[in-house]
Amino acid sequence: MNQTIYQQFTERKKQGKKSFAVLIDPDKVDIDAIAQLVQLGQEAKVDYFYVGGSLVISSHLDECIQQIKSSCDIPVILFPGSPSQVSRYADALLYLSLISGRNPELLIGQHVISAPFVKKSGLEIMPTGYMVIDGGAPTTVSYISNATPIPADKNEIAMCTAMAGEMLGMKLIYMDAGSGAKRPITEQMIEKVAKHINIPLIIGGGITEPEKAYLNCKAGADVIVVGNAIEKDLNLIKEISDAVHSVDTVKIV
């Protein structure tokens, strides 16, 4: 039987293998440019395409995903900013609960409203404790979520939040400094969180250099997500993918 995407995540974590996900925001990508992006992704051995954004204004989400799926086997995982961003054409859904915030709508409210629709989609659902970390300036996610991000230097708060998320049954923790964050999440915070949870840890927001991605993985990140920087420089797909995968051979103790 084929592994589910979540089984892949946990298997890779067990083996100490790191993964790289390219985030595609349907608002920012031209449908015509997707083929090139996918080709570069394949050549660079990108592990996943994440699709979504805090604010998807355009209506070509389905088209965007179909275009990716038509030209590669790289799994497409939805990273939705709202229930309207659920597409049955994707492979899996990060079913996000904003556990770092205290906005009940994003903790459970919108999930209740969209539950029948999400279930009917047939997508693989991955319950994800989503934690927004202060990235040095307000980002779309921090504004839209109407929730205070965890301060960048409060490693213990991040640790306790992730631990609570895991004990509540979340299958993944996603720590995000927000798209285009001025300051990505520190290695100290990643290390603190990674040491105290057993589920895979996804890190994103403001990563612009291969070196940063490498250090994040060394600190305990299992999946690195990059969007903005790649929109500006497509060469980074291969550079960051190589950096992330180079950690595979290094034994993390």
User: Which residues are near ligand 1GP by CB under 6 A?
Assistant: 23, 176, 179-181, 204-207, 225-229
- Shortest Cβ distance from residue 179 to ligand 1GP (Å)? 4
Of residues 73, 26, 76, 71, the one with CA closest to residue 48: 76
Whichever of 75 and 81 has its CB closer to ligand 1GP, that residue is 81
Structure tokens at 74: 């790289």
Burial of 72 by CB count in 10 Å (0-12 exposed, 13-18 middle, 19+ buried)?
Answer: middle
Q: How far is CA 221 from the centre of its chain?
A: 11
Q: Measured from the CB atom, is 115 or 210 closer to ligand 1GP?
A: 210
Number of Cβ within a 10 Å radius of residue 7:
12
The helix-helix angle for 236-246 and 210-219 (nearest 10°) equals: 30
Using CB atoms, what's the residue nearest to ligand 1GP?
204
Q: Based on CB atoms, which residue is closest to ligand 1GP, 7 or 201?
A: 201
Write down the least CB distance from residue 204 to ligand 1GP, Å: 2
Which CB atom, from 215 or from 250, has the smaller least distance to ligand 1GP?
215
Would you say 229 and 181 are in contact if contact means Cβ atoms under 8 Å apart?
Answer: no
Task: Outline where the chain has alpha helix (H).
Answer: 5-14, 31-43, 61-71, 104, 110-120, 140-145, 155-167, 187-196, 210-219, 228-232, 236-246
Between 1 and 144, whose beta carbon lies closer to ligand 1GP?
144
- State both tokens at 141: 């996610």
Nearest distance, CB of residue 249 and ligand 1GP, angstroms: 25
Smallest separation, CB 120 to ligand 1GP (Å): 26
Q: Which is nearer to ligand 1GP, 115 or 211 (CB)?
A: 211
